[in-house]
Every structure is written in C-alpha cells, then in structure tokens.
Amino acid sequence: MKREIYLNNYWALFLDFIDTFSEITYQGIPLPILANFYQYLDPEIKETMMDPGFRKHLQTRISKDKEIQPKFEQWLKPLKRPVLLGLNKGKLLLNFDYLRFSLNNYTQYFSPQQTIIFARFRKESYQGIPVHCIKDYKVEVTSGIKNLVERTKKIFSFFSSHPVFGNQHFINCFITQIPVMIETIASAKKYFDQEDCSCVVVGTTEDLNSRVLAMVAAGKGIPSICMQHGLLGGPEAFVPVFTTKVACYGKFERDWYLNKGLSEDCIAIIGHPRYDDISTQNHMSKKKFQNRYNLDSSKKIILLATQPNYDSLWNEFIEILVKNSDSQIIIKPHPWETSRRTINTQKSMDSYEYFARKYPSIRLFNPKQGVSLYDLLSNIDFTVCNYSTVGLETMLFNKPLFILSNGDIDYYHKLKDFTRSNPADLSSLISNFIDNKRFQMLAKNKREEFLAYAYPYKLAGPRLLEEINSLTLK
C-alpha cells in the first residue's frame, strides 16, 4: 500500500515540477521534463512520499493510473510534429547506450549502408556499421547556461518551505544537470540538422542522451522506438513514454503500459533481439562446460541468479541447498554486485566467494573467464532467481525456473506454484521436482503458458525491422 501511495505522489510531484519550472526551456524544450526525476529524490523525501498526507503539498491530482501518460502528453504533444513522409531516404539511427544488442544482432539485422550507430566513443565503425560520435556535434552554449541557472535559482527561492522543491539535494541535482541538458539538446539539434535520419532506436529513455534524441527527433517529425532494457522493476524508469513506440517483451508489458494510459498504437510486442541468440547461435558443449567448471556429469546443476540487497535470503538458501549431495550449484551474481562495489554489494560478493571456497559443490560464475551467460544457461538443469531477466532467459532455453522471493512479483505471478518466500520450503520444492515426473510436466506446461503471455515471439530482430519499416513507410 505504501508503494502505491508513493508512486501516485511521485507522478503528481513530477508533473508539478514540470509545471512550476516550465519557463526553464532551451530551444523550446522544458528542461524539467528531461529530469531523471526519481534520482533527484533523497531517501528521506521518498519516505515522506509514502504518507497519504503528502498530497497536501501537490497541485496535480491523479485519481487513477490511466491518467499518468495523458497528463505528461499535455507537455510532450506540443513538442512533436507529425511523422514526415519520405523519411525512408534517411538512415536508421541506433543510439548505442543501453541498447544491449548482441554483436550478432548488429551484423544479422542492420545494413551498414542504411544504419548509423550514435555513440559516446569515437570509432570509424562498430561491427561494420559506421559510428557517429556525439562529441563531434558539440555546440558552444556557455552564454545560455548562466541565464537559465539564475532563473532556476530564483524560482527555487519561492519554494524554500516546500518539502521537495526546497530540499537542497533536489535543488543541486537539477541545477547541476542544466548545463548537461542544454549541451545535449544543442548537440542533438545539430546532428539532426546535418544528418538525414529515418528513425531513432534507443535502449531506454531514462538516460538523458536517449531522451533528448527521441524528443528532438519528434520535433522534426522523425519517429522513434524505445526497446525494453529489462523487466519492469521500477515504474519510474519506464513512464512517461517519450518515443513514438515502446517495444516490449510481451502482453504483460502491453497491459502494464495500457494501464498507465498509453494508447495501444504506441505499443509494439517485439521482444528483444539479444534473446534471439538463444536460438540462432551455438553454445558451449556440455562436455567442455563440465570440464571448465570441473563438474560431475552425474549430478544436477542448479544456477542461482542473485539480486542485490537480498544477501541474507540467498545465504540462508545456499546453506540449505548445499546439503543436497545430488546437486551442484553455480552462483551468478547480479552485474551490480560485481561492478558497483558498495558496502552491501561487497558484502554479497564476500559471501558468495566464501561459499565457493567452503563447499566443493559450489562454483562462482564469472563471464570474464570465457563462459557466456548463454553458455551457462544451455548447460544448467534449472535456475533459481527472484526478479531477473535471467529467469526469462532460462525459460527461453526451455529450462525450469524457481522463484525465491519474500515479496509479490507481478511479472512471475503465473509461476506462483514454483515460487516460495521461505528458503527451506523452496529447497523442499526443488527436491520434490527432481524426483517427480508429473511435477516436471506441470512445470513444462506452466512455462509454455507463461511464455505465450510474456514472450510470445521467438525472434525479435525481424519484428523490430518490420516496426521500423512501418514507421518509415519502407
């Protein structure tokens, strides 16, 4: 219930922010709409936003979720032009950041003659496709920054008693982002003025570069598509929608976006091309995999795909599961646990490394050791996760999935028969599964039912190209 109150207050507060600072514009774009807003809110503010009483600080009222996207469209629609005809003469622009396409995706689906990769790095080409670097389109905008910053500070001065707009962390976040926003808009404007573009594909619009590209393109009548970069965890990262279309995995996300007020013609069920590699590429052989990890071919291989901030749950589960002498365990830490070394993630990694040293049946997965995630998934017997795309990928490999979660997970709701919050209960469920053919058949049927709803199309690349062609009238 607190989460629902927070989110309702969040959307209303974001809209209040856009309205209050709407005069802070650059080349017609209100800068507050570019804010990655939830990152401006410190933990104390988020806590107060869980209180129904927070609404007294809000001007905007949202009575139901279907109002969310339409209320943002009141600000977005004036910035858009109708899609121009004849754009098929321009090139497809792939914004590299957060696309998460595989190397094979670039060579398999995109023509080097008709495609440009837009990136922060300077290279002549990437996977044979020409690269345009955003740094090469930089524009001198210093003179405009100072004036907008001063005007912004003046508006903030009227809200010193406001619990959010008077918060120094919030103020600093927005003011420090203004120069970056202006520079990004100027670079994007220059790019589209100089280059012919038929369509823009981005990996997310949570990222400033991606959001600006989509908005500047819309102002020139150029359509855009936003891929789904992961499971719909934090709604704040997926709404509002800034692109012409959102490319989602399946019906779960379609229904979710419809519930947030997005019109159905803005939603395309595509999947994600990186998952195409599951069925189109060869993976490591069983024998080579077993040799690499020194595994016993007579025992089951259980993959644990962990998540940050759940270390106590995983630690308890591992200690129970390891007592099963007929199984071997491979722990795959979440990328945040391996790359973002905070106190919490370091604690998690220390635990995993301790288990791998203590128990002969436990291995720790490291993709830098020459084994890819898909090599791993093609060779394990089943996976345990809580909220991870690895769960979806496991099922796309036609492998069983179990969920360890101490909270409700809407995405995997159809797999509730294979979900447990108690580690001991889940371990018992797994033991029963290994020896029970009828249970295994139930898992197969439930998996097929889940995929028909959550990921209905095996190959996403061709569907993405069809969607691009329909938007550009090719």
Taking only the tens of pLDDT, the chain with its 474 residues reads 788 999 999 999 999 999 999 999 999 999 999 999 999 999 999 999 999 999 999 999 999 999 999 999 999 999 999 887 665 678 999 999 999 999 999 999 999 999 999 999 999 999 999 999 999 999 988 878 989 999 999 999 999 999 999 999 999 999 999 999 999 999 999 999 999 999 999 999 999 999 999 999 999 999 999 999 889 878 888 999 999 999 999 999 999 999 999 999 999 999 999 999 999 999 999 999 999 888 988 899 999 998 877 778 888 999 999 887 788 999 998 877 777 666 667 777 888 888 889 889 998 888 777 889 999 999 999 999 988 899 999 999 999 999 998 766 688 888 989 999 999 999 999 998 988 999 999 999 999 999 999 999 999 999 999 999 999 875
Residues 306 and 222 in one domain: no
Do residues 256 and 305 both lie within one domain?
Answer: no
Helices (H), 112-206: 142-157, 168-194
CATH number of the domain encompassing residue 336: 3.40.50.2000
**Helix and strand tally (H, E) in the chain?**
18, 16
Q: Is 259 inside a domain boundary?
A: yes
Q: Tell me which residue of 93, 111, 113 sits closest to 195, measured CA to CA.
A: 93
In a domain, 343, yes or no: yes
Q: Say yes or no: 319 and 192 in one domain.
A: no
Compute the C-alpha angle 238/208/127, nearest 5°: 95
CB-based contact 271:249 (threshold 8 Å): yes
Query: Is residue 277 in some structural domain?
Result: no
HSE at residue 289, side-chain half, CA atoms within 13 A, is 20
Give the whole-angstrom CA distance, residue 279 versus residue 177: 42
Residues in the chain: 474
Instruction: Look at the chain and report how many structural domains it folds into.
Output: 2
Q: Would you call 404 helix, strand, or coil by DSSP?
A: strand
Grouping H, G, I as helix, E, B as strand and the rest as coil, residue 222 is coil
Same domain, 293 and 356: yes
Exposure string over 285-319, b if 16+ CB within 10 A, otherwise e: eeeebbeebebeeeeebbbbbbbeebbebbbebbe
Measured CA angle at 212 (ends 207, 215), to 5 deg: 125
Q: Are residues 226 and 115 in the same domain?
A: yes
Domain that holds residue 108: 2-271+461-472
What is the reported pLDDT for 409?
A: 67
Q: Are residues 368 and 308 in the same domain?
A: yes
Kindly state the helix (H) or strand (E) to which residue 357 belongs, with its residue range: helix 343-358
Classify residue 331: in a domain, yes or no.
yes
Distances (CA, A) of 259 to 63, 141, 290, 362: 13, 40, 46, 43
> Residue 465: which residues within 8 A CB-CB, separation 6 or more?
109
Q: Considering the domain boundaries, does residue 372 fall inside one?
A: yes
* pLDDT in the model for residue 87: 58
Same domain, 326 and 401: yes
Identify whether residues 190 and 319 lie together within a single domain: no
The verdict on 258 and 353 lying in the same domain is: no
- Say if 338 falls within a structural domain: yes
Residues 234 and 299 in one domain: no
Query: Is residue 276 included in any domain, yes or no?
Result: no
User: Is the dihedral angle over the CA atoms 409, 412, 415, 421 positive or is it negative?
Assistant: negative
468 in a domain, yes or no? yes
Same structural domain for residues 71 and 145?
Answer: yes
Whole-number pLDDT of residue 16: 97
pTM over 0.85: yes
Residues 262 and 387 in one domain: no
